[in-house]
């Protein structure tokens, strides 16, 4: 089970989203990469032109190593020429809550900015999932 998470946001022109996602997957799957890709989405409402990458890490050291690899790369996420902005946010679960489950990612996920300027990720209710399945963030890479 992962103890640390990173949400990376790659901003790029709308017509370059697929190329950016494919490059990011290749970067993340290299032999020297640490962490596990848990999900990759592109935005379809709100601020458009973003690819969101959610990765899990076993330790803070693994997360820091992978962040350094991306930041020191001449072509981060193999989308360097396409990316207009890059942000990488780290998260750790509260010790009193159950750990994150991959089962949550099987359904529609909604990424939305909060009033604190952070990104909230939640799984809509079963009824809301049927109604809003065409809105929000769409998985890019399966």
**pTM higher than 0.85 for the full model?**
no
Identify whether the C-beta of residue 140 lies closer than 8 Å to the C-beta of residue 54. no
Average pLDDT of the segment spanning 33-61: 90
Query: Closest Cα to residue 121, out of 3, 57, 41, 35?
Result: 41
Please give the span between the terminal C-alpha atoms of the chain, in angstroms, as a whole number.
20
pLDDT of residue 132 exceeding 60, the answer is: no
Q: What share of the chain is helix, strand, coil (3-state, %, to 5)?
A: 30, 30, 40
User: What is the reported pLDDT for 142?
Assistant: 38
Task: Determine how β-strand 50-57 pairs with β-strand 36-43.
Answer: antiparallel
pLDDT for 61: 96
pLDDT tier, 110 (very low <50, low <70, confident <90, very high otherwise): low
- Examine the pLDDT at 49 and tell me if it is beyond 70: yes
79: phi then psi, degrees, rounded to nearest 5? -140, 20
Average pLDDT over residues 47-69: 94
Distance CA(96)–CA(133), nearest Å, equals 31
pLDDT at 123: 44
Size of the chain in residues: 142
CATH code of 4-139, in short, is 3.30.70.100
Model pLDDT for residues 60-109, shown as the tens digit of each residue: 999 999 999 999 999 999 998 899 999 999 988 888 877 666 665 545 55
């Amino acid at each position: 089970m992962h103890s640390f998470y990173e949400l990376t946001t790659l901003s790029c022109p709308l017509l370059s989203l697929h190329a950016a996602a494919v490059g990011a997957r290749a970067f993340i799957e290299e032999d020297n990469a640490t962490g596990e890709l848990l999900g990759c989405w592109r935005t379809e409402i709100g601020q458009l032109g973003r690819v969101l990458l959610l990765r899990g890490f076993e330790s803070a050291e693994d997360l820091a190593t992978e962040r350094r690899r991306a930041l020191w790369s001449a072509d981060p996420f193999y989308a360097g020429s396409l990316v207009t902005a890059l942000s990488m946010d780290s998260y750790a679960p509260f010790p009193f809550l159950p750990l994150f489950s991959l089962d949550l990612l099987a359904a529609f996920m909604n990424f939305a900015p909060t009033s604190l300027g952070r990104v909230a990720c939640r799984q809509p209710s079963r009824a809301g999932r049927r109604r809003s399945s065409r809105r929000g963030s769409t998985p890019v890479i399966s």
